[in-house]
Amino acid sequence: MLELSHVHKVYRVGAFGGGRLRAVRDVGLTVEPGEVVSLIGESGSGKSTLGRMVLGLTRPTSGRIAFEGADVTAIKGFRAKKEYHRKVQGVFQDPFSSFNPIFKAERVLSMIRSSYFPGVSDADWRDRVTDSLRTVRLDPDAVLGKYPHQLSGGQLQRLLIARALLLDIRLLVADEVISMLDASTRIDVLNLLADLKERGLGILFVTHDLSLGTYVSDTTVILRKGAVAEKGPTRAVFADPRHPYSRHLLSCVPRLHRTWAEVDADLDRERPDPVVPPAPADEDGPVPMTEVGEGHFVGADQG
Ligand SMILES: Nc1ncnc2c1ncn2[C@@H]1O[C@H](COP(=O)(O)OP(=O)(O)OP(=O)(O)O)[C@@H](O)[C@H]1O
């Protein structure tokens, strides 16, 4: 459904745009219907840039991003972009800043109606709104008449997802959607993503938090300095991380369900970090990936 191949992004920075900042280096990944792909990496690793490129908000410097076979970078003009966003939507970290504080929830949703479904009757629209709110486990009577400041962060995040669902989207880019929520609301939103996946939605789940990545995702892509350090089935990547950076990230994840004895036993049998080849000097070229298991790839060392 979504396919990124050899995607690079270099920003022009500094006075008069004379400097170059490489945010994304030779990234390849796919998202299929009903699949959650976690894009994990520390701050500045290029996750949001990738999300924005998938949403068509910024263009790759080179490489291809295809959605259902069509080149996303070739989508030009207001109409074509609007059609693309009927199928692909993004939800971002800070739900408070995504809403106009003077619009009630009802108005936020009805903007989708005027933009995408001007011909739909009032009764049909009410049914659609009720359906999408129920899908995200919001009570229409409790939220529609409220202003953003009268709703919690979790409710706002779910409202944003409900707004996306009104469009019958096929791919959701969820960029740090839970990082500003408290622990129990996080689990609610993660469970919601799992429900959406069951309904056949593809989800690109962008997060800096490795432990949350495992909770919902089928596939894990670990980014470091804009390049893929490791990717593969989440179970394989977590059970047998092969890149020194993935191992480092995993060693920082608290394992609350394990006893000290188990953790000690693990440390005793700790294996030395594997050696991965250095990334080629030519930053515009391909970064070699080694397949270490079925669909499990390890990238080069970005230094
Ligand atoms: N519009 C821009 N112009 C110039 N540089 C940018 C721009 N957007 C991002 N960058 C830079 O590109 C790199 C990757 O940024 P990006 O926001 O994609 O990382 P991230 O992994 O999402 O980080 P975070 O988790 O902190 O949001 C960073 O060095 C950032 O400063």
The complex's ipTM works out to 0.96
How many Å lie between the centroid of ligand 1 and the Cα of residue 83? 27
Q: Kindly report the number of other CB atoms within 10 A of residue 298's CB atom.
A: 27
From 7, 12, 48, 225, mutation site for ligand 1 pocket: most ligand atoms within 8 A of C-beta: 48
The helix/strand/coil state of 238 is: helix
Single pTM value for the model:
0.89
How many Å lie between the centroid of ligand 1 and the Cα of residue 11? 9
How many Å lie between the centroid of ligand 1 and the Cα of residue 194? 28
pLDDT 10s digits, 238-282: 888 999 899 888 877 666 566 666 666 665 566 666 778 888 888
CATH top-level class for 31-57+75-298? alpha beta
Closest C-alpha residue for ligand 1 atom 6 = 11
Main-chain phi, psi angles of 199, to 5 degrees: -85, 5
Closest C-alpha residue for ligand 1 atom 26 = 43
How many Å lie between the centroid of ligand 1 and the Cα of residue 199? 32
Instruction: Write out the chain's pLDDT in tens, 303 residues.
Output: 999 999 999 998 877 767 889 999 999 999 999 999 999 988 899 999 999 999 999 999 999 999 999 999 888 888 999 999 999 999 887 767 777 788 899 998 999 999 899 999 999 999 999 998 988 889 999 999 999 899 988 888 889 888 988 987 999 999 887 776 677 777 877 888 888 899 899 999 998 887 776 778 999 999 999 999 999 999 999 888 999 899 888 877 666 566 666 666 665 566 666 778 888 888 888 899 999 999 999 998 887
Main-chain phi, psi angles of 5, to 5 degrees: -135, 130
Closest C-alpha residue for ligand 1 atom 11 = 23
**Domain limits of the chain?**
31-57+75-298
Closest C-alpha residue for ligand 1 atom 7 = 11
Q: Kindly report the number of other CB atoms within 10 A of residue 189's CB atom.
A: 22
In the block, which residue shows the tokens 């030519």?
282
pLDDT of 250: 81
Residues whose beta carbon lies within 6 Å of some atom of ligand 1: 11, 13, 21, 23, 41, 43-49, 208
Tokens of 168: 């019958």
How many Å lie between the centroid of ligand 1 and the Cα of residue 61? 15
Residues 6+ apart with CB under 8 A from 9: 22, 23, 24, 46, 49, 50, 53, 58, 60, 61, 226
